[in-house]
Structure 1
Amino acid sequence: MPDVTVSDTPSRPLRKDAERNRKRILEAARDLFAGKGLEPSLNDVAHHAGVGVGTVYRRFTNKDALLEAIFEDSINQLTELAKAALRRPDSWEGFAWYVERLCEMTATDRGLREIAFSKAYGGDRVTAAQERLVPVLKTLVERARLDGRLRPELSSTDMPIFGLLAGTVSEFAGHVDTDLWRRYVAILLDGMRLRADQLPLPVSALDDDEVECAMQTWEPAGPCGEHGGRGRS
């Protein structure tokens, strides 16, 4: 019978426990950030997950690392949705479908909209995901505009604002009607479609540099504890 050392025996259960704790932490963080935005700290996440603070810090060294684990995939999902919209043969249908999907995600997940449209949190992986999204959105908007389906003043830089507007409706009245944001997205889309009798929009869209400046300086939740990377712990 082969010798079995003490260190060999507990190794597999410990790995299972670590993975179970990691999943519990991620689920708790998603739940907290979806409802409260990025303000909750790692301590809040630990409490919500029902684990010790030390357990969270062993899995995620700072808040940026946790945000990356949660939101990189979500921003990549927005990119894949935009690519799917481009595969639709009708440029207006594809554009409107994407705006509805974008607003649905951002209206129902406050944390996603705050990290998708800000660079104050999230680390390099989230920033890279944001940068992959931008050129696809530009193509989506330009295609509908060149087809004469979208009013010419509309810009891809308007897209984050649409997501934020849907989210604001949810923050204001989501507890009264969870689907109210859909009403205002329909109104927005109606105003975006090109018509012969439209007056020009009174103010220009932000340009790329202005959007970058807004994203660099907007910290939706404000300071919330010790610094961890560029985010907060």
Structure 2
Amino acid sequence: MASPPEQPDAGPTPALRPLRRDARHNREVVLAAARRMFAVHGAECSFEDIAREAGVGVGTVYRRFPDRRTLIEAILEQRVTDVDAAVSEALALEDTWAAARLFIGSAARMQLEDRGLRELLHDHGFVSAGLAMLRHRIAPAAEEFAARLRHDGAREDLTGDDVLVLIRMLGSLPPEAGTASPTGRDAGFERYLGLVLDGVRRRPATEG
């Protein structure tokens, strides 16, 4: 059972009150542990396991996140920040294909390396403000990269939706595809990413 609120309801916006420093620290520790556990074990990992990973009591987890949805939304809010950073970094590159490789690769890796995120993205019955915001952020970026690619040698029919499908395809690779090889390179993932990008390049017209 969730613990009762730490402070009484004294107005319409009690949630806007800043947390005490120790409470804020506990929240950050729990959230970081939850992200690690979700990435490895999926979105249904227990609060007890999260508490153990964070090195706190399970009551601390419930005080900061009274239910699973609250915790999931907090994790997805951080994922939105990750997407924004990846998009900004990629758009800053002048080389169109290098930018597309960075954007598509980063977005796909977020799914490939995070079991919980993959599960949520493929659960069509799960309605979430965080997932909606993720899609709101990534869809226009996909359109932007598709337009840049069309202008710089990609197929003329390439669309933003196509780019999103390519991200989902790469993000659905077996987890071992992202494991570093003995040389330190993610040979499997990088190879598939290269094949995907080669597949959208415009082919020269054949003679005859």
Scaled by the length of structure 2, the TM-score of the pair is: 0.70
Aligned match of 1:103: 108
Matched, 1:63 2:68: yes
Identity of paired residues, percent? 34
How far did residue 54 of structure 1 move?
Answer: 2.5
Aligned match of 1:52: 57
Cα distance between partner residues in 2 of 1:158 and 1:36? 30
Which residue of 113, 133, 154 maps to 1:150? 154
Aligned match of 2:171: 167
SS of 1:169's equivalent in the other structure is coil
Which residue of 101, 126, 132 maps to 1:127? 132
Query: 1:186 is matched by which residue type in structure 2?
Result: G
SS of 2:172's equivalent in the other structure is helix
Which residue of 175, 190, 193 maps to 2:198? 190
Cα distance between partner residues in 2 of 1:191 and 1:122? 33
* Residues 56-106 of structure 1: CA deviation (Å, up to 9, x unaligned): 121112222212222223223323432443343343332223222223333
How far did residue 163 of structure 1 move?
Answer: 3.2
Cα distance between partner residues in 2 of 1:108 and 1:132? 20
**Displaced runs of 4+ in structure 1, greater than 6 A?**
none
8 Å contact 2:40–2:116 — kept in the other structure? yes
Give the length in aligned residue pairs: 184
SS of 1:127's equivalent in the other structure is helix
The 3 A distance-change label for structure 1 pair 118 and 134 is farther
Aligned match of 1:75: 80
Which deviates further from its counterpart, 120-129 or 17-26?
120-129
Scaled by the length of structure 1, the TM-score of the pair is: 0.64
SS of 2:204's equivalent in the other structure is coil
The 3 A distance-change label for structure 1 pair 117 and 138 is farther
Name the structure, 1 or 2, with higher relative contact order (CA <8 Å, separation 6+): 1
Which residue of 129, 136, 139 maps to 2:141? 136
Cα distance between partner residues in 2 of 1:36 and 1:84? 29
8 Å contact 2:96–2:152 — kept in the other structure? no
How far did residue 141 of structure 1 move?
Answer: 0.9
Query: 2:42 is matched by which residue type in structure 1?
Result: G
* Residues 30-50 of structure 1: CA deviation (Å, up to 9, x unaligned): 111112232313343234334
Question: RMSD between aligned alpha carbons?
Answer: 3.1
